[in-house]
Structure 1
Amino acid sequence: MHAWARSVPAEQAAGLERQPGVKIVRGPGFSSTLLAFNNGRKPFDDPKVRQAIAAAIDSQKLVDTVLRGQGKTGSPGFWHPDAPGADTSLKHSFDASHSAKLLDEVGAATGADGIRVLNGKPMNFTLLVQSSSPERIRSAELIRDMLKAVGIGVSVTSMDSDSLDAKVWPEYDVAKGRDYDMSMWGWSAPVQLDATMLAAVVDSDTVLGRLNVTGTKDGDLDRLSDEVRAAPTLEDRYKVLGELQKQVAEKAPFVTLYYPDGVYAYRQDIFDGWVYQDGTGILNKASFMEAAAG
């Protein structure tokens, strides 16, 4: 192992902890893993369908199974509960019966094979996932089984990252559209460290909403996105950010599944002065500053 800090998969952490001279540090990680919907494609243009899918997902099971407990369940408002400006009152609610009720309300009747039919079409969808991520593949498989329980059929399709990006975020330009039903997706930690970035994720303007890979178009989200960018003070910005989180939770343009913890391994016999910072891990300037006297 090299002398510098390295992020390690959760499943390898236990083995590394048994290695002489190796120390493991864990803490909140602000990277997110999402179930993204193509909001411009039926039936994902209907908030009730998206809400029904969200309610059918047991995100705590994903954390316990896929992350081995080393992470937090996603907030329906997207913002990590430890990130600045988070509305910690927002909690994901796994409720399969509520999911079924919402599907009944939109007229999705159960077919002979157990798959619901909506507007004459079976609710069979493709879920794209990166072949390079065992964590996301396993999450997609569990989500497939959870949605089957409420009458939604899911086919998990694994593809290389470049091919998946070309479907979800072609040329990294949301103005070029998208071609998918659902996809495993995620944003890196820095997105959670800037209050205006949630606006970039949901704003329908393809310039201002440069991260809007779901094609979300909603007047309330656009208005609040404008307000969070225009807020004159940080306090005002966090207040509007809280309102935006509530609207994201209500509209469910995507499902925030979980936030993996940061898990870092290092050789403590070489350097043991690392300082963990939420969302950024142990490689930061605080680790290289002399401790204050007193």
Structure 2
Amino acid sequence: PRVGRIEVPIVREEERIYDALRGREVDMLPISLPEDIADELGESSSINVARGPSYTGTALLLNLSRPPFDSPAVRTAVARSLDLGRVLRNTGPGVPADRGNLHPDSRWAPREILQREDVSAARRTLAGLGLPPIRVLAPSNDGVRLEAGRQVVLALRRAGAKASFGKLPRGELGDAIGENGATPDFDAAIVSTPALASYDPNFLARQFGSDDATAPLNYSGYRSAAFDALADRVVTAPDPEARERAAAAELRLLATDLPMIPLFFSEAALAYRPSVYDGWIFIKGSGILDKRSFLPNNQARAQAGVAAPEGDGDSGTVAGTIRSAALGVLAIAVALALVGMLTLLRARARG
């Protein structure tokens, strides 16, 4: 590898992580930047911003274990109230998640549109139910997902529902949705969805399967024997075509049952200091913090399917240590999973 070590200090507040890059405390940010911050940092002569599609998504998680979202009619009405294009326009560049839980560029994504707005139908349904106010939670340290939460609340109000918005620190939001064995206490929450599902649809079973032991990411309380059967078909499919059909059937069922409403996939904007290391390669779906960024340039570009510029050999910088800040513990886990080739990864907690 062309990098000996990556140090990953944990920075809890969103604004502090950007200040750390501005102040040269860190050398790259493995999390995607909001559009205004990306534009600002990109204007600096000492910072580059790499952009491309990210398979990490944003979704509205629903709590099916209690009213009002134990009702399929309410879940459907909420989904119909959402104009995904409008939500996306207010949160930044990306693509709407109208084909379900997988990024449209995933080879396993269906061709059909699964999520369509119908505010009139939503208003008719919601008007007849007399629902109590719906509280939508979002992480306070994530500007993109905060805005997504605001847009969901506005859409619900336009459809005639009573809705309120709450922002919580990431740890408190995790407790509210039931992470780490906590008792869930929420109506709806804006969450990030893992990129792995777009690479391998078998991962959907870990989010929506009925068995707690094999579905540790099922925070909605969704239980469906039909989904479990389709998930088994994905695993046992004899060829890629059969797997595509099984995955498409899974996504159609999820779009009907709606334990979660996928909203959008943001374009990733990842900032780094080229003076420290300029060998970063953007890998479609996962970004620059990938093992191929640390191989000799031509070898890495060939593996990534990226053409080398004319005259580009293996002359890029070789770094001893890169300081890569992460926003919260979840980002650290993602970073660790992606960088398997590094000889040492040392996490330093920073209060």
Report if TM-score (shorter chain) is over 0.5.
Answer: yes
SS at match of 1:283: coil
* Alignment partner, residue 283 of structure 1: 289
**Cα distance, 1:185 vs. partner?**
1.4
CA distance in 2, matches of 1:254, 1:4: 32
Deviation digits for residues 181-210 of structure 1 (CA, Å, limit 9, x no counterpart): 111112232343222111221112212322
1:137 correspondence with 2:143? no
- Of 164, 167, 174 in structure 2, the residue corresponding to residue 155 of structure 1 is 164
1:216-273 per-position Cα deviation (integer Å, ceiling 9, x unaligned): 1223212212222233444432321111111111222211111111112233455544
> Cα gap change, 1:5/1:138 in structure 2, threshold over 3 Å: closer, same or farther?
closer
Shift, 1:21, TM fit:
4.3
Which whole-Å CA distance do the structure 2 matches of 1:242 and 1:18 have between them? 42
In the alignment, the residues of structure 1 paired with residue 58 and residue 197 of structure 2 have an alpha-carbon distance, to the nearest angstrom, of: 12
* Aligned with residue 252 of structure 2, among 226, 238, 246: 246
CA distance in 2, matches of 1:28, 1:253: 25
Inter-partner Cα distance in structure 2 for 1:154 and 1:36: 15
Deviation at 1:73, TM superposition (A): 1.1
RMSD: 2.4
Displacement, 1:93? 1.5
Look up the SS of the partner of 1:89 in the other structure: coil
Tell me which of 64, 81, 95 is aligned to 1:39. Answer: 64
Is 1:90 matched with 2:113? Answer: yes
* Secondary structure class of the residue paired with 2:265: strand
| 1:264 counterpart = 2:246 | no
Match of 2:188 in 1: 182
* Corresponding residue SS for 1:264: strand
Unaligned runs of 5+ in 2: 1-23, 303-307, 309-351
Match of 1:15 among 40, 43, 51: 40
CA contact (8 A) 2:133 2:162 kept: yes
State the TM-score, normalized to the length of structure 2: 0.71
Q: Deviations over 1:81-128 (max 9, x none)?
A: 112311132253222112124436xx42xxxxxxxx1xxxx3312222
Percent identity (aligned): 26
1:27 — aligned with what?
52
Q: 1:206 to 1:30 in 2, by over 3 A?
A: same
Distance 1:159 1:271, change over 3 A: closer
TM-score by length of 1: 0.84
Aligned counterpart, 2:78: 53
CA distance in 2, matches of 1:167, 1:236: 38
| Structure 1 counterpart of 2:95, one-letter code | K
Query: Does the Cα contact within 8 Å between 1:63 and 1:71 map onto a contact in 2?
Result: yes
Distance in 2 (CA, whole Å) between partners of 1:46 and 1:267 is 50
Deviation of 1:24 after TM superposition, in Å, equals: 2.2
Unaligned runs of 5+ in 1: 109-116
